[in-house]
Amino acid sequence: MAGFPWDCNFTSKKMKKMKKVIIYIVAFICTYGCSKSEFLNQKPNQSDVVPQSLTDYRAILDQDRDVNGMGGTGRGPVPGLGEIGADNYYIPDANFRNLRPQHQNYYRWDEKVYLDYPVFSWNWPYLTVFYANVVLSGLESSDFDSDSQEYRELLGEALFTRAHAFYHLAQVFVPPFDDNNLDLPLGLPLRLSADINEDLKRSTIGETYARIEDDLLRAKNLLSSEPLVKTRASKQAVYGQLARLYLTKRNYESALAYADSCLYIQNELLDYNSLNADDRFPFSDIENNPEIIYLCNMATPTGSPISSQHARINSDLYESFMELDLRKKLFFQSVVDGYTFKGSYSGNLPHFAGIATDEVYLLKAECLARKGDTIAALDELNYLLSTRWHRDEFVPFNTNHDLPILDLILAERQKQLIFRGQRWIDLRRLNQENFQITLKREMDGQEYFLLPNDNKYTWPIPDDVISFYPSMPQNPR
Amino acid sequence: MKKLLTTLLIVYSCSSLHASAAKKIRLLDTLSVPTQDSIRRDTLIEVEIVSTGYQRLPRERATGSFDFINQELIERNPATDFLSRLENLSPGMLFNKGDASRSDPFLIRGRSTITADAQPLIVIDNFPYDGDISNIDPNIIGSVSVLKDAAAASIWGARAGNGVVVITTKRGLQRKPTIEVSSIYTVQPKPDLNNVSWMSASDRVDWELFLYERGYYDVAKMSNTITARANPIPESIELVLSGPPDLDKRLDALRNQNVKEDLSNHFYRNASSHQHGISVLGRSENYQYAFSAGYAAEQYDLVGNSNDRVALRSANEYQVNERLKLDAVISVVMNNTTHSGNNGLNMINYGRFGLSPYASLVNSNREAAPYYGNYRKAFLDTVGQANHLDWLYRPYDEINLSTNKVDTRDYLIGTGVTYTVMNGLTAHLNYQYQQQLSIAASHNSADSYYARNEINRFAQINPQTGSVIYPVPLGGILSTRNETLQGHQGRGQLVYENDWSGGMHIINAIAGYEIRSKVTDRNSSMYYGYNEKISVVNNRVDHQNYYPLSTSAGTDRIINSQGLSKFTDHFLSSFANASYMYRNKYTVSTSIRKDEANLFGVAFNRKGTPLWSVGSAWIISNESFFRVPSIDFLKLRATYGLNGNVSRMASAYTIARFDATGFIHSLQNASIMTPPNESLRWERVKMLNLGLDFSLKHQRVSASIEFYRKNAVDLLAEVPVDPTLAFTVAYANVASMQNTGVDIEVGYRSLSSAVNWNTSLIYSYSTNKVTRYLMPESNRGYIYANSLYGINPVVGKPLYSAYAYQWEGLDAQTGDPLVVMNDVISKDYLGVYNAPLGDMKYLGATQPIHFGAIRNDLSYKGFKLFVDISFKLGHIFRTESLENGLLISQWYGHGDYARRWQNPGDEMNTFVPSVVYPANTHRDRIYKLSSVHYHRADMFRLENVRLSYTIKNKGRAFRHATIYVHGNNLMPIWKSHESIDPYYNNTPREFGRFSLGLQFHL
């Protein structure tokens, strides 16, 4: 029978020997105990790069295919469903029949829109959000020098990238911002970590907008105004995006302030006289397009309704461009059955949906006009348009114009920002302000309408998302 | 755990001094001490001491499912590799053969994982063996314990989900040194190639003439492009195109050729092997030693393929004083495998369209004949105006011109300290270092076709001067792949074994820590211009630029394959296990283990889930109330617990891959390949085991019956995820499976004096089904049905299942195959192809459900005869048949061509459809997967027959000597398919292996 520890009877020699053994064993335990986390943190496969350093995070945010939608893969942080629902285009009957059934439903604003095809307008912007979250989680979890320039830039860019994608998702999948609906649980599922086990639920509309606003306001103090490439966020990009945000919230005063700040940093316009209208893509020199503040594309799958394969420019819209307006030739290409769009600032087929100075000028002009400062508003508008018309042919608008100045500015806004994803956002906002714009689709003699403030201005959450969260509320339709 | 250990250390440091006064300290290995259990019986029977790799205990005292395989059984099969020797010895162990081996070659109690490795863990003495299993010399094995249930295996925690095989090496047990010497010579006749069904040469010639008439070879008549001139056409068509006056005669000559004869005569041979082993075992008062050396050499049936292995091992134990024991193991294994450029019957390796049944590979002078499988003869004769190197492909010569060698060196050094702290309590420290170097070299010599073809393809010939520039340098091409595996394993462990009150209480407990690190480095390179005689290579090869090729209008770069990779596995584990036996009747046992690994990330490791087991056993026959004279032993056992398994398909971390430039900028950037999954965790196997052991009539009959259920949960599998998470599919611990089975072992021994007869039956029933799998079922059943041995989980079905289209015979008018789809006879092949799995017929599992063996031993004086029969039942296999599309696109075809439907009425006698031109892909697919090709693979086989004679002569130079003749892999005794043996389903049929063996114990 074994003895008990308390009735030990030591002899010194044996004690010594025992001590030695104990020291060895303790040393063994310590050796690994001390470096245990290091031992267990070894990479299982050396060629896997587990992002850990600022250089790694820099590289992740520079992945311009997934973050900005470059490379013609149909990706991008801006949902294509907005532009698809808007009134810049129509689809001739013959082309309509070639559309994928789900895309036909999109075009008709159907009651039940989604069939079995992925909703890329949801998936791709959330991919961008994921990249931003990988960086944000990484920056938080390690001990980086949070005052270093590199750290601040990465943090700012990631915050901007996520807020920018959330903003655009909200314009498509969340009911229009209104002071009365902020508590409705119809906001976005705000995905804020990179872990695939994150449990998601829809936030309230107020929470969605607060998250966008907070992240942008945080980012604004972190970023510099001299980005190395336009696919990276910058101070002016944040200002531009904040101006957009407040415009959407119909807080025109703040919108004006941020538009001003944005233009203070970057205000150059591209003189359209320097472009060649015969080019297949007149804006292909994106490197030297001084208007681009932030470069990203719209998420549109191949063969989407707004691809130039199917879409033709709304005739009234096309006709509203004067002959001496250079845009008529630079933006549009004549095809057998109408006109297609070729004026993307992406310099190719993908639809540019980033931020550019032309938009900020228009935004500023609108806010000035709403403030009643018509002269200043017209100055901004005329400055912009003078670069869009044949040199010396442009007759500046003056206060004697027969249209209200605001309407004039809004009309120019639609024309300049065609296929930039802005029209849908504007339609939601303007109808909230009683502009009473009704959209119409016509095919095979059948007419479909989208009435002002209709529930269909909010696209449903994709069915495969809802299927994961049975209690997630769907948008009323 | 640390706390516990510290406490234990204190206990140990104090109590040991007390214990030093104890009178008796068990010397050396407790293994050798006969236990009471064995003495208790009036017939002294060797007690089976099973080993878990952590401790050894008498099987009778165990609660779990242990199987014990002694040295005699290991030597029952003369195979050179250790795994083959385990076949048919233990219930629950399944060795799949034939097509089924493509799924899992070796399983214990079925597969219970979807994406992880299903191979059982192999342990040698104390530590898992990470090297190549073929490096294990059977000669070193003293016994093998198979751990099948949770209580037995759970001490191995996260790696025990598939069961554990523990090899205990030979030990010296007797004072007089034992020298064991053995030699085994084995031969196996060359395989039967006719077991592979090919259309005859004559049929092939006729078919090619038919294709020719239909214009299939018209492109060969044109010579406007290099490709048209270069692309090979069958020899019969070459003849037709050249139009000799004796065309018919020459075509008839082709019809009479048979390439299988050339192959069988010149490419195959009788396989043979010989192996020799010597072991020296013994002990003195304080020293125990075991040395062994083994040599095995094998010549495989394909000429030029061989393997040899030298294995040396020395294991020593030294009792320093009463308390301290040291041990050391050194083992070196050198294994060399050589594969030649012999393609054998692997017809697709013979060129772009495979091997023609009328090809002639060796001419009448036993010289290699060229085979025009890659380029036309006319092209080779004219291209480059004879300035190229010889460009002919002679398969027979290639046997000696290319070699693929893999040399493995496996070094293992282990050391241990055992300190007896007090009576019953010992402390162990063990450490083992393993290094396995594997050097693979694929050498295509300067004369090999591969090297000549590469040189010629790239050769730049000036048509005016005829001067040649060789971008691929003249000489051989050598590809190497080196791998270094380095493993460190360390363990500190306290063992407490004691009994009180004359064995009324027996306690057995261990606790410890373990650390394991395994790092694998790989690198590969390719060398051009290699000259093996002087070991030079040409390192000025331009891999960058594109060169115009002589064989097509295109350009190509010279292949450069270089790679480096490194894999690291780190594990930290703490474990404890204890059992208590009361009055030799009641045993309870428990174990717990926590594993941490570098696979799962810190977050998971912090949480960790311990793997554990509990068990109990009741020896009813030791109860005083138990009075059944015929039953001399009766024991009930039950265990339950959790084991683990590791799949590497997912990562706890974000994994990114770097690119040098983006799409619109030239900045370094990284794409995210795998999302981080912080809740990634071990796969867990919950295992219930119920066992009944008994022996009757003075142990003449002994039996063990076990029922088990394994519920594997948290299996890593693909799962659709919310696209909001940025991925639509990810790997997660979401799937579940269930295995249910019964293992039975019954032994009978007659105890008469002159003729001894022993027989044992092992039988296993094993089923599995997927119980949870979240990926939506594909709406095309074909995908599941086409691959019989690929993993396509369907809830409610075994992981490997057979599905088929319901066969309905042939169309009487056209000979088209007909199947029933939704109660309608259909020829809508595209529609059937697109039908969901639910519309197909489920036929059963493709791995055996019932399997086992019957072993019979008969001995009379020095003679001993044994006969082993194995059986596998309840599974399905698919036979092959004619593929119409392949018949057109390739130069060979299935022999069912001869049985094809040709005229109305044929449908009464054949199931082979008419052959059509052009082929209809979907018609081929539907026919291939129709139920007419699916059969039960049930069989009984004669596995081993051995006759041996042993001379025992104590006074002379040896203790005993045995000589035997042995036949292995003999033949199926009965199979459910009348002609096809599922072990050799349309592959060359192997014949029995016959061995002559000699054993001396000096």
Express each pLDDT in B819-841 by its tens digit: 999 899 999 998 898 888 889 99
Chain A hits for B730, Cβ within 8 Å: 196
pLDDT in tens, B639-680: 999 988 887 777 777 888 888 788 888 888 898 888 888 778
Whether residue A18 and residue B16 make contact (CB cut-off 8 A), yes or no, is yes
- Of B969, B965, B971, which is closest to residue B996 (Cα–Cα)? B965
Q: Report the C-alpha dihedral over residues B71, B72, B76, B81, rounded to 10 degrees.
A: 10
C-alpha–C-alpha distance, residues B931 and B841, integer Å: 8
Size of the A and B interface in Cβ pairs below 8 Å:
221
Give the SS3 label for residue B78. Answer: coil
Chain A hits for B722, Cβ within 8 Å: 200, 464-465, 468-469
| Distance from the A368 Cα atom to the nearest Cα atom in chain B, whole angstroms | 36
Picking from A21, A64, A191, the nearest residue to B669 by CB comes out as A64
Q: Tell me which chain A residue has its CA closest to the CA of residue B490.
A: A28
Q: Tell me which chain A residue has its CA closest to the CA of residue B517.
A: A39
Instruction: For residue B539, give both structure tokens.
Output: 């390192």
Chain A hits for B658, Cβ within 8 Å: 49, 59
- A341's enclosing H/E stretch is strand A338-341
> Is B425 touching A (CB cutoff 8 A)?
yes
- Of B608, B607, B631, B610, which is closest to residue B621 (Cα–Cα)? B631
- 3-state SS, one letter per residue, for A19-58: HHHHHHHHHHHHHHHHCHHHHHCCCCECCCECCCCHHHHH
Chain A hits for B424, Cβ within 8 Å: 2
Give strand pairing partners of B932: none
> Is A27 touching B (CB cutoff 8 A)?
no
C-alpha–C-alpha distance, residues B881 and B901, integer Å: 13
C-alpha–C-alpha distance, residues B480 and B348, integer Å: 24
pLDDT, residue A385, reads 95
The arithmetic mean of pLDDT across residues B884-903, rounded, is 95
Picking from B15, B665, B667, the nearest residue to A2 by CB comes out as B15
Which residues, numbered 151 to 210 in chain A, qualify as contacts with chain B under a Cβ-Cβ cut-off of 8 Å?
Answer: 189, 191, 194-198, 200
C-alpha–C-alpha distance, residues B87 and B107, integer Å: 11
| Distance from the B22 Cα atom to the nearest Cα atom in chain A, whole angstroms | 9
**Strand-pair category, B178-188 with A312-313:** unpaired
Picking from B498, B670, B727, the nearest residue to A49 by CB comes out as B670
Picking from B598, B655, B668, the nearest residue to A42 by CB comes out as B598
C-alpha–C-alpha distance, residues A162 and B109, integer Å: 50
> What angle separates helix B235-242 from helix B201-213, to the nearest 10 degrees?
50
C-alpha–C-alpha distance, residues B217 and A360, integer Å: 67
Whether residue A197 and residue B427 make contact (CB cut-off 8 A), yes or no, is no
C-alpha–C-alpha distance, residues B650 and B677, integer Å: 8
Q: Return per-residue pLDDT of chain A as tens, 477 residues.
A: 333 333 334 445 555 655 565 566 555 555 555 467 778 777 777 767 778 899 999 999 999 999 999 988 899 999 999 999 999 999 999 999 989 999 999 999 999 999 878 999 999 999 999 999 999 999 988 788 989 999 999 999 999 999 999 999 999 999 999 999 999 999 999 999 888 778 889 999 999 999 999 999 999 999 999 999 999 999 999 999 999 999 999 999 999 999 999 999 999 999 999 999 998 899 988 889 999 999 999 999 888 999 988 999 999 999 999 999 999 999 999 999 999 999 999 998 899 999 999 999 999 999 999 999 999 999 999 999 999 999 888 999 888 877 889 999 999 999 999 999 999 999 999 999 999 999 999 988 899 999 999 999 999 999 888 888 888 999 998
If you compute the radius of gyration of chain B from its CA atoms, what whole number of angstroms results?
32
Chain A hits for B567, Cβ within 8 Å: 44-46
Q: What number of other Cβ atoms are within 10 A of residue B685's Cβ?
A: 29
Whether residue B653 and residue A56 make contact (CB cut-off 8 A), yes or no, is no
Picking from B9, B500, B724, the nearest residue to A465 by CB comes out as B724
> Is A94 touching B (CB cutoff 8 A)?
no
Query: Buried (b) or exposed (e) across A58-79, using 16+ Cβ within 10 A?
Result: bbbbbbbbbbbbbbebbbbbbb
pLDDT in tens, B185-222: 999 999 999 999 999 999 999 999 999 999 999 888 87
> Is A335 touching B (CB cutoff 8 A)?
no
By CB neighbour count within 10 A (0-12 exposed, 13-18 middle, 19+ buried), where does B172 fall? buried
**Strand-pair category, A298-299 with A78-79:** parallel
C-alpha–C-alpha distance, residues B785 and B789, integer Å: 10
Picking from B425, B675, B724, the nearest residue to A189 by CB comes out as B724
Q: What is the pTM of this model?
A: 0.79
Query: Buried (b) or exposed (e) across A230-260, using 16+ Cβ within 10 A?
Result: bbbbbbbbbbbbbbbbbbbbeebebbbbbbe
Which residues, numbered 727 to 786 in chain B, qualify as contacts with chain A under a Cβ-Cβ cut-off of 8 Å?
Answer: 727-728, 730, 732
pLDDT in tens, B698-719: 778 999 999 999 999 999 888 8
Identity of the amino acid at A394: F
pLDDT in tens, B340-388: 999 899 888 899 999 999 999 999 899 999 999 999 998 998 887 788 9
Give the SS3 label for residue A241. Answer: helix
Picking from A28, A32, A196, the nearest residue to B677 by CB comes out as A196
Give the SS3 label for residue B414. Answer: strand
Give the SS3 label for residue B347. Answer: helix
Is the dihedral angle over the CA atoms A168, A174, A180, A185 positive or is it negative?
negative
C-alpha–C-alpha distance, residues B495 and B576, integer Å: 10
Identity of the amino acid at A80: G
Q: Where are the alpha helices (DSSP H) in B214-270?
A: 218-221, 226-230, 235-242, 247-255, 259-262
Q: Tell me which chain B residue has its CA closest to the CA of residue A66.
A: B671
Which residues, numbered 571 to 590 in chain B, qualify as contacts with chain A under a Cβ-Cβ cut-off of 8 Å?
Answer: 572
C-alpha–C-alpha distance, residues B844 and B931, integer Å: 12
Cis preceding linkage at B918, omega within 30: yes
Instruction: For residue A369, give both structure tokens.
Output: 């006009």
Q: Report residue A257: phi and psi, to 5°.
A: -60, -45
Question: How many Cα atoms sit within 13 Å of B575 on the Cβ side?
Answer: 32
Question: How many Cα atoms sit within 13 Å of B331 on the Cβ side?
Answer: 28
Give strand pairing partners of B441: B405, B480
Picking from A1, A40, A127, the nearest residue to B598 by CB comes out as A40
Above 0.90 for ipTM, yes or no? Answer: no
Chain B hits for A5, Cβ within 8 Å: 10-11, 14-15
Q: Tell me which chain A residue has its CA closest to the CA of residue B657.
A: A49
| Distance from the B421 Cα atom to the nearest Cα atom in chain A, whole angstroms | 9
Which residues, numbered 3 to 62 in chain B, qualify as contacts with chain A under a Cβ-Cβ cut-off of 8 Å?
Answer: 5, 9-11, 13-20
> Is B679 touching A (CB cutoff 8 A)?
yes
Whether residue A464 and residue B723 make contact (CB cut-off 8 A), yes or no, is yes
Q: Does the pLDDT of residue B564 top 90, yes or no?
A: no
Q: Report residue A139: phi and psi, to 5°.
A: -65, -35
**Strand-pair category, B801-804 with B841-845:** antiparallel
Q: Does residue B79 or residue A403 have the better pLDDT? A: B79
Say how many residues make up chain A. 477
> Is A471 touching B (CB cutoff 8 A)?
no
Chain A hits for B725, Cβ within 8 Å: 126, 130, 191, 196, 198, 200
